[in-house]
Structure 1
Amino acid sequence: MNRKIADSRWLDRCAVGVLKTFSSVDRVNKRLRDRGFSFTSKYLGGKLMLWSFETEHESEGFVRSNFFWEDTFISMEKGYSSLAYRTRLVWANIRGTPMSHCNETFFKKIGDLLGEFLLIEDDTAQRRRLD
């Protein structure tokens, strides 16, 4: 039991952010390095990024000071909270769509029913591929 507790303590030194768009996080990482933070950053999939800092104090400072991340991220939370589960992306493959409905408007309506529509594959939008 103690091993499980010890293994999860690294999460106290982490922060998870939700990207506004699929853009680079280089700017955030540069700001952190310029101010002497020791960290690693990892893409978690979807719109999520994880930062792991050397100390819990650095992690708290990063989350509190939105100067580092406000222009690139919607939100930032300490640790690996339920945020990761609320923001996962799913690629939906919709089969049997009538040809007359194969357009972004139709797929956006379906996507919005399930959560949030992000984009339509280029080949589908250009009608190069309709499978």
Structure 2
Amino acid sequence: MLLRSANMLGILANVADPRAATAAAFARAVAGTDGPIVVLSHFDADGLAAAAILVRALRTAGRDARAVIVGKGESPWDDAPRARLGTPALLVVADLGTRPEPVLPGVATVIIDHHVPTGAPADATTISGNGL
């Protein structure tokens, strides 16, 4: 499902072109910010792949982007991973789940995930492939 803030905008499985809907949501979020972008991701294979692809795509688009990887036993909502993020213009969270609490309150955020969502932070763009 594709969520904006806490309000469902649509189910990707029910739109004519789920890839286009996802790409458009991500592009709107990226275009709405100016400055460095941090991709925060999980340490496993799909998290590392997501981080590599996202950082490369953002850099190819001319954006200043870097990855921060959440280690085994860490949570993105813990102080140590948060301290490594700094204050980016945009935070992209990949493969770390979806829950109501923002990772960095006050920072524009895109969440990309495939796990069962438990909520979406207010003012975040959430792209979930769960159930597709």
Is the TM-score greater than 0.5?
Answer: no
Larger Rg: 1
Length-normalised TM-score, structure 1? 0.26
From the two aligned structures, give the one with the greater strand fraction: 2
From the two aligned structures, give the one with the greater helix fraction: 1
Length-normalised TM-score, structure 2? 0.26
